[in-house]
Chains A and B, each alone.
Chain A
Amino acid sequence: MTDTPGPDEAAPAEQIGLGAPEAAAPASAHPRNARSWAHKVDRLQPDLREGVRGTNVAGRRLAGPVQGFGKMWQKTYRMNAGPGIAPAEAISIWRKHFSEFWPAGNRFSTPITNITPGDVALLDLRIGGGVKLSTGVFVLYADAESFTLMTPQGHLFAGWITFSAARDGEDTIVQAQALFRAGDPLYELAMPIMHRREDQFWLATLTALGERLGAADPEVEISRTCVDSRRQWRYARNIWHNSAIRSLLQAAADRRKRGNKSGTGQGGTGKDDKS
């Protein structure tokens, strides 16, 4: 509802149903979802974990859609899971088994088996040519019917993605909605490819999730909106943190190290053998 008094007419507090003391103090001092939000962190400090390379995250700041370089996009992937599952149950399964629905070749490692506000998940993402991009995500928000992941500096995208479920009539609709910019000019150049890959990724993920939730033939709808077509040149220097470049350099350094070791008869397997 919108209502517009004339210019410079300040509506009194009573007009919007507040007494003077309430009007002076924010109503949201102790919101009921306070525990659903992560606490503030200046820089990410994840523990190393088995199964992922774990680089390009420690010491990084979080980067939302306003800190990215490229055009701002909102992308929504929706899947009808049918009437047989409640939204909270769908989200509970998704949070507990998040990475199991990912396409093969990508890895996601959290400190525990659920997705909890404040967690830092480490990722190895397949980006083609046998290369894996190592980065992470921060669990910004999680409640019974939604959870949100936010990216650190150097990630392909600067932004967040919210996973949610809600009733639409008798059916439960599950969706992933991302709001992001390409993190730096190099990623922005690659956006046509990244859009396609991201669509394939979430299409496969939501299809696998739908099958787990009991949907007979899950179909995924994709929509894409350009929220801001301007590029933010002040963030061009984000390229310093570019995780793709760093992952390539790290993989090359690891291969060289292994080569040196085998050359001197030390042998051994590097941490990157899995990638």
Chain B
Amino acid sequence: MPGTCEATTRAMSGAAVIELRGEVDGAAARVLADAYEHAVTADGVATTVVLDFTAVDYINSTGIALIVSVLAKARAERRKVVACGLSAHYREIFDITRLSDYIELFPDLDRAVSQLTGPAA
């Protein structure tokens, strides 16, 4: 069922976090674009955007294209994008599409944020 994507944004230890819920498909375009703008505007100094897919239960190929658009926009603004909470299936999809060459993947949000803000970051 299209149109069921929702997003919540927050700042967390210097990263702009976008928590996605529901289905990432063509109908998610506006939600994703708005969430990105909201996240980076709310924390103007954030150099990293974390896409949290923990509560996402469906991504189709149009959704993957939307994620690439976010990646392109973030890179143009010199921000890094990482992702977390992907199931094994969608990690494989990120591998096939070679998005994982550019988006670092973390098992969950805590590990993403601690890695990004820890001493080694």
Query: Using an 8 Å CB-CB cutoff, how does the interface string of A44-73 with B read, 1 for contact, 0 for none?
Result: 000000000000000001111111000010
A64 near B35 with CB under 8 A, answer no
- Number of contact residues on B: which range applies? 35 or more
A161 CB to nearest chain B CB (Å): 10
Tell me which residues across on chain A come within 8 A of B39, comparing CB atoms: 2, 4
Please report which residues of chain A, range 62-98, place their CB below 8 angstroms from some CB of chain B when the two chains form the complex: 62-67, 72, 74
- Selected A-B contacts with CB under 8 Å, 11 pairs: A2-B35, A4-B39, A7-B43, A10-B12, A16-B55, A23-B54, A26-B56, A29-B89, A37-B89, A141-B60, A160-B65
User: Are B61 and A162 interface neighbours, CB within 8 A?
Assistant: yes
Residues in B whose Cβ lies below 8 Å from that of A9: 10-11
User: In the bound complex, what is the Cα–Cα distance between A24 and B56 (angstroms)?
Assistant: 13
Q: Does B104 contact A (CB under 8 A)?
A: no
A177 within 8 A of B: yes
Chain A 142-183 interface mask (CB, 8 Å, partner B; 1/0): 010011101000000000101010100000000001010000
For the complex formed, measure the closest distance between the CB of B81 and the CB atoms of chain A, giving whole angstroms.
11
Inter-chain contacts of A146 with B (CB < 8 A): 60-62
Those of A1-56 within 8 Å (CB) of chain B: 1-11, 15-18, 22-34, 36-41
Q: In the complex, are the beta carbons of B11 and A7 less than 8 A apart?
A: yes
Nearest CB in chain A: distance from B54 CB, A: 5
With contact pairs A38-B96, A63-B98, A64-B99 given, residues A26 and B54 touching in the complex (Cβ less than 8 Å): yes
Asked whether any CB of chain B lies closer than 8 Å to the CB of A120, the reply is no
Separation of A166 and B29 alpha carbons in the complex (Å): 15
- Report Cα–Cα, A30/B58, bound state, in Å: 9
Total interface residues in chain A, CB < 8 Å: 60
A122 CB–B CB distance under 8 Å: no
Determine if B86 and A28 form an interchain contact, defined as CB atoms under 8 angstroms apart: yes
**Inter-chain contacts of A26 with B (CB < 8 A):** 53-54, 56, 85-87, 90
Q: Contact check: which of A27, A38, A160 meets B55 at CB < 8 Å?
A: A27
**Is A16 touching B96 in the complex (CB atoms < 8 A)?**
no
* A121 touches B (CB below 8 Å): no
**Contact between chains at B108 and A24 (CB < 8 Å):** yes
Inter-chain contacts of B19 with A (CB < 8 A): 11, 16
* B61 close to A148 (CB less than 8 A): yes
How near does chain B come to A203, taking the closest CB pair, in angstroms?
21
